[in-house]
Amino acid sequence: MPSFDVISKIDLAELDNAVNQTRKELSTRYDFQGVKAEIDIAPDHSALTLKTNSEEKLQAAKEVLLGKLAKRGISLRVLEFGDIEKTGLSNVKQPIKLQQGIPVEKSKELIKVLKESKIKVQGSIQADQLRVTGKNRDDLQEAMALFRKEQDRLSLDMQFTNFRD
């Protein structure tokens, strides 16, 4: 039976490259001279933390980071920005959560979208991915097109793998 998997993964090497490029650019930019700007990656690559001495510098650092991530091919849909927190000595930080895998509630929404579309395919949740099966290849390709159309509304970055005919 033809099937494919819907996943949401980040290329961790490209993430590291984008963060390192951002650090390098912030260290050489004129408006960041004498400013301590840090970007930390959690050891399990589940989050980033931006730290600077003012909210304006934090916004500028975030814009540089977003530009580097986009150039490296990392979708900005995988980022979940937390609230800006004030730390000691008039410093500020902002946590940025990285979404790896498809959460169960998003998988349920995708299955609901499939059922409402009346395409003759079935979706099944398998851990942090979704498997879609159908009777023919055309239905599966139609489901992929539907998911691509819905990914902005769901704010979910999706890749399609393991296509079997």
Pick from 149, 165, 82: which is nearest to 117 by CA? 149
Distance, CA of 34 to CA of 61 (rounded, Å): 14
CATH topology of domain 10-96: Alpha-Beta Plaits (3.30.70)
Is 10-96 in the same CATH topology as 1-6+100-162? yes
Structure tokens given for 158 = 């999706």
Each domain of the chain, given as residue ranges in start order, spans: 1-6+100-162, 10-96
Taken in order 6, 7, 8, 11, the sign of the CA dihedral is negative
Cα separation, 16 vs 88, in Å, equals 28
Q: What is the pLDDT of residues 37-74, one digit of tens each?
A: 899 999 998 999 999 998 899 999 999 999 999 999 99
User: Looking at the DSSP assignment, which residues form a beta bridge with residue 81?
Assistant: 96
Beta bridge pairs of residue 132: 4, 123
Q: Out of 3.90.660.10, 3.50.50.60, 3.90.600.10, 3.30.70.860, which CATH number does the structure's domain 1-6+100-162 have?
A: 3.30.70.860
Q: Residues 110-140: pLDDT tens digits?
A: 999 999 988 899 999 988 899 999 988 898 9
